[in-house]
Structure 1
Amino acid sequence: MKVYLGKDRIRADRDVTASHATVRDLCRRIEGEGHKLYMDNFFSSPDLFDELMTKNITCCGTSRPNRKGLPDDFRRRQFRLRKGDIRVRVRQNMTALVWKDKRDVYMLPNMHSPPAEGSFCDEHGNAIKPAVVADYNKHMGYVDKADRMAKSYGICRRTWKWTNKLFFHLLDLTILNSPIRLKSCGANWTHRDFRLALVRNMLEFAGRGPPRPQRPRGRTPAVRSEPSRIGEITTQHWPTSSSSKLRCRVCSSRGKRRGVRTKCEKFEIGLCVSGCFRDFHTKATFR
């Protein structure tokens, strides 16, 4: 898989198109193994098929008539075909054909024998499909069927960001592949039944976990909620004046010598009003 993130400028400087380079990069892991590759007309081209053929990969796909490397009469669309007509051009092991059904269908295979030219219709006047067209429809139909099945219970929404769409599309494909793999092992799961069982198991597993801590509602209070010596009014920790000069308890603990005439009414100890009184009654180091 390769995610399309825009035109690659490095590939644009080469002799190959971006779609050609994409298919070539995706096929690097299957080179020389004799695989057959089916593709639609967005990717197929004679140059790509020739390159893949040298790596023992045969191809089949629909084609656009204006592709570089096709015969001139294909590119100029000079054919005047009636329903069932077939026109074929062959170059070494590659075949280019156009078949008239409801519209002109251009095919570009190098894994099939070239069909015979002529007009082929059944007794009801319906066009008879060439073998190459029937084979292409069979194998490309798997891709269309997979997309349709994955979107039957799709999670993705159109309004989401593309990164979220990609993630949930891959998740849908993973869920779709799971019952298919199970069915190959003898289980009889439908796509819908597997999704329902998956949801039930996830909910059951989520219920076993530890309870989530409840977040406090509303704005966090500016004052710390921990208890302090000045927390209650009944304790009577109020600053008051002293008849004699006293040494500040907090300043003394910090190595400073300071005389004050204010004290705590409860403890009868000298404390500076500016800061020390608050620190002594709220900080644990002075308790």
Structure 2
Amino acid sequence: MLFDFNIYQGGDGTRSYLGQGGDVVMKLFSTLAKNSNYKIYADNSFTSVPLLEKLLRWELQYTGTVRQNWLLNCNIKGEKELKKEGRGSFDFRVEDTHNILAVRWFDNRAVTLLFAHTCVEPLRMAGRWDKKAKKRIDVSMPAIVADYNNHMGGIDILDSFLAKYRFRIRSRRWYIYLFCHFLSVALVNSWLMYKRECRLLQLPDKKMLLQRKFQAIVAECLVSVDSDKKRGRRTSSNPLITKQKVVNILCADVRKDQVAHWPAKSETRGRCKLCETNNTNTMCSKCGVRLCFVDGRNCSVDFHA
């Protein structure tokens, strides 16, 4: 779920000793609540030893891959040495002052990580495909690598959600693309929050709305809210007495917007949407549902309150 973002606008001539990547991390970190035990994961574009030292002063836990030429005076085994030892081999070094740990692990290639809140052990096993043996084998993996793989990649998952139902627009104004992009991000964030609430309520996955259905309901509510449905051509003086299927609008934002919820009579009687016990031929012209409107019982007012 996207919490904050920073649009790249080019350099402004000012840069701290952390570098451009470190400055981005510190700027995004400034919007988080202090002393909340956050864990930050990033790739090698942002990770450096000075950044970890500064984050440790804020008691923040950081894990990230790092480029080999950014580890100065670190006598750790190189990729060629680890390759001779085989897949699953690793080497690590500890910085004494801040207790920062550097680990280099070899799989198909060597990867180097910096962190200061966990250990190399216990070793875990990862399934890999061996081209020579033509079968899957178990490769030993340090605990920090497994932790990094489990938590890294949130932006990639978000991008995959955005790519499924992206707004197809063409405009010469660049800010229109930004507006549509962040509108899509807001929809995905809302859908993820909806799924989280459903899991807290222990609802089965089959009853949860898919992303496409959720986005369609939100679009329908945004179009219908504060609308009296006066546009378009009607086939009858009463829009409810037609052979066309009436689409029920039950979104709370539309149901309670207090706009154009006029009562209308239908040719047939049906069960009241609110009390679900009485039959009535009175309908809401906007919501398209039957609601009791008789002496002593006014479900129409309670339904829209």
TM range (shorter): 0.5 to 0.7
Q: Which residue pairs with 2:64 in the alignment?
A: 61
* Cα distance, 1:105–1:199 mapped onto 2, change above 3 Å: same
Distance, in Å, in 2 between the alignment partners of 1:209 and 1:70 is 71
| More strand as a share of residues | 2
Q: Check conservation: 2:82, 2:90, Cα contact below 8 A.
A: no
Structure 2: segments with no counterpart, 5+ residues: 129-134, 233-305
Distance, in Å, in 1 between the alignment partners of 2:175 and 2:139 is 44
Q: Structure 2 residue aligned with 1:52, among 55, 66, 71? A: 55
Which deviates the most, 143-152 or 94-103?
Answer: 143-152
Q: CA deviation at 1:160?
A: 6.2
Q: Structure 2 residue aligned with 1:163, among 154, 175, 195? A: 175
* RMSD (CA atoms): 3.2
Q: CA deviation at 1:167?
A: 1.9
TM-score (norm 2): 0.59
Q: Which residue pairs with 1:261 in the alignment?
A: none
Which runs of structure 2 are paired with 1:88-127 in the superposition (5 Å)? Answer: 88-92=92-96, 93-115=99-121, 125-127=137-139
* Cα distance, 1:138–1:91 mapped onto 2, change above 3 Å: same
Q: Which residue pairs with 2:10 in the alignment?
A: 6
Q: Structure 2 residue aligned with 1:41, among 26, 44, 47? A: 44
Distance, in Å, in 1 between the alignment partners of 2:141 and 2:173 is 42
Which deviates the most, 54-63 or 138-147?
Answer: 138-147
Q: Which residue pairs with 2:91 in the alignment?
A: 87
**Which one scores higher on RCO, CA 8 angstroms, separation ≥ 6?**
2
Q: Check conservation: 1:84, 1:120, Cα contact below 8 A.
A: no
Distance, in Å, in 2 between the alignment partners of 1:201 and 1:38 is 37
- The number of equivalent residue pairs is 208
Paired AA for residue 142 in structure 1: G
Q: Secondary structure in 2 aligned to 1:9?
A: coil
Q: CA deviation at 1:32?
A: 3.3
Indicate the percent of aligned positions where both proteins have the same amino acid.
25
1:174 maps to 2:180 = no
TM-score (norm 1): 0.62
Q: Secondary structure in 1 aligned to 2:14?
A: helix
- What does the per-residue CA deviation read over 1:98-148, in whole Å, with 9 as the maximum and x for residues that have no partner? 11111111111111113489x999995442332211111111133322221
* Cα distance, 1:161–1:67 mapped onto 2, change above 3 Å: farther
Q: CA deviation at 1:179?
A: 2.0
* Cα distance, 1:41–1:157 mapped onto 2, change above 3 Å: farther
Q: Check conservation: 1:120, 1:127, Cα contact below 8 A.
A: yes
Q: CA deviation at 1:192?
A: 0.9
Q: Secondary structure in 1 aligned to 2:68?
A: coil
1:135 maps to 2:147 = yes
Paired AA for residue 128 in structure 1: S
Larger Rg computed on CA atoms: 1
